[in-house]
Amino acid sequence: MPWSAPERAPERAPGRTPGQAPGRTFVRAPEGKAGHGSAARLVLEEAPASVFAFEDFIDALDFLSHRERDRLKLAGEEILDNLLCHSAPLEGGGIAVRAARRPDCIALSFFFRSPGFALFASNGGAPLPIFDPLHRRWRGIGMVMCKNLARSISFRPGSLVDRIFMLFAPEPDEAQARPDRPLYADVPTR
């Protein structure tokens, strides 16, 4: 049976802040030396509604800029969707997510256990996009998008837990950014 997204609930229930998904607590803790990074983690159920809980989780990360949160949401939702659609059933029924700011990068990690993940990872991870004539759609485009958004993606199968690590370049500090020109002014346009 193909997966389909449930009807989306209202953006926020009354009295609910972005860091309070129903039945979940986002844990935010300092990491390393003071001021050198922050981290947060979340455990998701193996259910389509987890995509919305993931969005709320990323939106609540106050140690990331708006643009950084957008990149993590876009790439992370693709990974989460692939896990829910192609790795199910997950052993243990859950996916742990960790987001962290380090001095030189932003890390987004997924921890889960899937019987088929070792085979996927042994084939080099994400294959090149191909057209699926049976379903009349391209497969693999989302992983290309993830590779373009992230600095690196690592697929690590394990005997107890499988892991996907994504590292992102941080946005320049506001003090370093030049307000007189766009962030990507050096990129040629047509």
Coil, helix or strand at residue 94 = strand
The whole-number average pLDDT for the span 85-90 is 82
Residue 100's pLDDT band, with cuts at 50, 70 and 90, is very high
Q: Which of 117, 127, 112 is nearest to 160 (CA)?
A: 112
149 in any annotated domain: yes
Beta bridge pairs of residue 131: 138
Half-sphere exposure of 85 (CA within 13 A, CB side): 12
138 in any annotated domain: yes
Is residue 108 over pLDDT 50? yes
Whether the CB-CB separation of 8 and 15 falls below 8 Å is answered with no
Q: Which residue is associated with the tokens 């030049």?
A: 178
Per-residue model confidence as pLDDT tens digits over 17-36: 444 444 444 444 444 443 44
52 in any annotated domain: yes
Whether the CB-CB separation of 46 and 93 falls below 8 Å is answered with yes
Positive or negative, the Cα torsion across 64, 44, 153, 104?
positive
**Domain span holding position 84:** 27-168
Coil, helix or strand at residue 156 = strand
133 in any annotated domain: yes
61 in any annotated domain: yes
Please count the structural domains in the chain. Answer: 1
**In this structure, what CATH number is given to the domain that contains residue 136?**
3.30.565.10
Whether the CB-CB separation of 49 and 6 falls below 8 Å is answered with yes
Q: Residue 69: exposed, middle, or buried by beta-carbon count in 10 A (0-12, 13-18, 19+)? A: buried
Coil, helix or strand at residue 37 = coil
- Rounded Cα distance between 1 and 152, Å, is 33
Per-residue model confidence as pLDDT tens digits over 47-68: 989 999 999 999 999 999 999 9
118 in any annotated domain: yes
Whether the CB-CB separation of 49 and 57 falls below 8 Å is answered with no
Q: According to the model, what pLDDT value does residue 3 have? A: 34
Which pTM value belongs to this model? Answer: 0.72
Per-residue model confidence as pLDDT tens digits over 64-76: 999 999 999 999 9
The DSSP call for residue 36 is: S
Residue 4's pLDDT band, with cuts at 50, 70 and 90, is very low
Per-residue model confidence as pLDDT tens digits over 119-177: 888 776 666 788 888 988 888 888 889 999 999 999 999 989 999 999 999 988 654 44
The whole-number average pLDDT for the span 2-10 is 36
8 in any annotated domain: no
Whether the CB-CB separation of 132 and 138 falls below 8 Å is answered with yes
22 in any annotated domain: no
